[in-house]
Amino acid sequence: MKELVHDKDADKAYCSCKGFEFWGIPCRHILAFLRMKQVEHLPDNYIVKRWLQSAKCGVVYDKNDKEVKDCVDGLVLVKRSKLGKVAGELIDSALLCDEGFELLENSFDDIRGKLTKLLSSRARVEEEPNGEVGTSSSQVRIKDPHRVKAKGRARRVKGQKEKAAEGHKRRCSECRKTDHDRRSCPKLVSG
């Protein structure tokens, strides 16, 4: 038996199973209560913001309680695409001979060193206009989690005996051939 408490002031029901509080989805007891009250549409106080399409549309604050602006620029994607195309073409050309591979590998090492120096010089601590000391890379990006590519259920792991039995074909007990059994053995049929 589950206990359901209805708060008339807040117009919200609370169940002793704590399903709504834990999962963010109304439990079957709350849904049964709403059905008993003949509620046709689920009230807004039972819809948690994290399940809405607009869940990401909000203000994000950094550790200093400052609003973080969205710093993703469409030009960054265009630049990345161009560089990726050029790098792919260079790699394809360099793989044709050993000298080209070594040349490109050394060039990449030089470029990596120069970029590291460039980025480290930009990331030094600077004096901000309001007198606080901070870094130029104080913005925080929040990305979506990786999607799982597997669909359906996983296949059962087979044991050693099952694996061995798969490769083993049955033989006729009379002539020991694998294309038939004892009932259709040519030796017994002709004899």
Spacing of C-alpha 89 from chain mean position: 30
Work out the burial of residue 32: count CB atoms within 10 Å of its CB; fewer than 13 is exposed, 13-18 middle, 19 or more buried.
middle
Q: Are 6 and 18 in contact (CB under 8 A)?
A: no
Domain extents in the chain:
4-51, 74-120
The pLDDT score that the predictor gives to residue 138 is: 46
**Rounded to the nearest 5°, which phi and psi values hold at 5?**
-115, 130
CB atoms within 10 A of CB 20: 19
The pLDDT score that the predictor gives to residue 131 is: 47
Prediction pTM value: 0.33
d(C-alpha 106, C-alpha 95), whole Å? 14
The pLDDT score that the predictor gives to residue 103 is: 92
- The closest alpha carbon to 72, from 143, 122, 146, 147, belongs to 143
The pLDDT score that the predictor gives to residue 171 is: 84
The pLDDT score that the predictor gives to residue 127 is: 36
DSSP, res 13 = E
| pLDDT tens across the length of the chain (191 residues) | 888 888 888 888 888 898 888 888 888 888 888 888 888 888 888 888 878 877 766 666 667 777 666 555 556 667 878 888 889 899 999 889 989 999 999 999 999 999 888 888 776 544 344 444 444 444 555 566 677 666 677 778 888 888 777 777 788 888 888 888 888 888 887 76
